[in-house]
Amino acid sequence: MEPTISRSTDIAADAATVWAMVTDLPRMGELSPENVGGRWLDGATGPAVGARFRGTNRNGAREWWTRVTVVACEPARRFTFDVRTPFGVRVSRWSYEVTPTETGCRLTEHWFRVGNWVVRRFLGPRVTGRRDRPGFNARSIEHTLAAVKSRAEAGRIS
């Protein structure tokens, strides 16, 4: 499956530090313009294949939650999760790839649009208030990557 949108940034920090930031889903709200955090479920305390998470998102006065399941987890390298509605309808896949470089690492964020046409045309815009999901997500990814870069390079990971 090819990503719908991908963006990358070079970060002057080690891959393990950056990976720890993007896999800390409860704190993702500090980095994302739409996600406001959430919590691990079923006793999970961090990223692992099969771990489940309940994420909370906000757009102005609109707030909604999603079900997240981790589908790939390779420490300091790759972290991928699927997102579903509270009713179990799959809407997207997000993935972070961390690649070591001579000066630190490159972080790439991918968004895969996998929801069916009902989700894309009706459910998504009605719940989130966003008609142009791809346009918003391109800007959101750029925002998140810039926030990770700023914090990692300043040594502010916790």
Prediction pTM value: 0.94
The length of the chain in residues reads 158
Share of the chain above pLDDT 90, in %: 84
Question: What tens digit of pLDDT does each residue of 61-105 get?
Answer: 999 999 999 999 999 999 999 999 999 999 999 999 999 999 999
Torsion, CA 10, CA 2, CA 30, CA 86, rounded to 10: -170
State the Cα–Cα distance between residues 28 and 157, nearest whole angstrom: 12
The CATH code of the domain that includes 16 is: 3.30.530.20
Q: What is the mean pLDDT of the chain?
A: 94
Bridging pattern class, strands 78-84 and 90-101: antiparallel
Q: For 103, phi and psi rounded to 5 degrees?
A: -110, 10
Please tell me the total count of domains within the chain. Answer: 1
State the Cα–Cα distance between residues 38 and 41, nearest whole angstrom: 10
Burial class (CB in 10 A: 0-12, 13-18, 19+), 57: buried
Going residue by residue through the chain, which has 158 residues, state the pLDDT in tens, using 9 for 90 and above: 788 999 999 999 999 999 999 999 999 999 999 999 999 999 999 999 999 999 999 999 999 999 999 999 999 999 999 999 999 999 999 999 999 999 999 999 999 998 777 888 888 888 899 999 999 999 999 999 999 999 999 986 65
Q: Which helix (H) or strand (E) holds 145?
A: helix 133-154
Side-chain-facing half-sphere of 59: CA atoms under 13 Å: 14
Give the residue numbers spanning the domain of 128: 5-154
Bridging pattern class, strands 52-59 and 5-11: unpaired
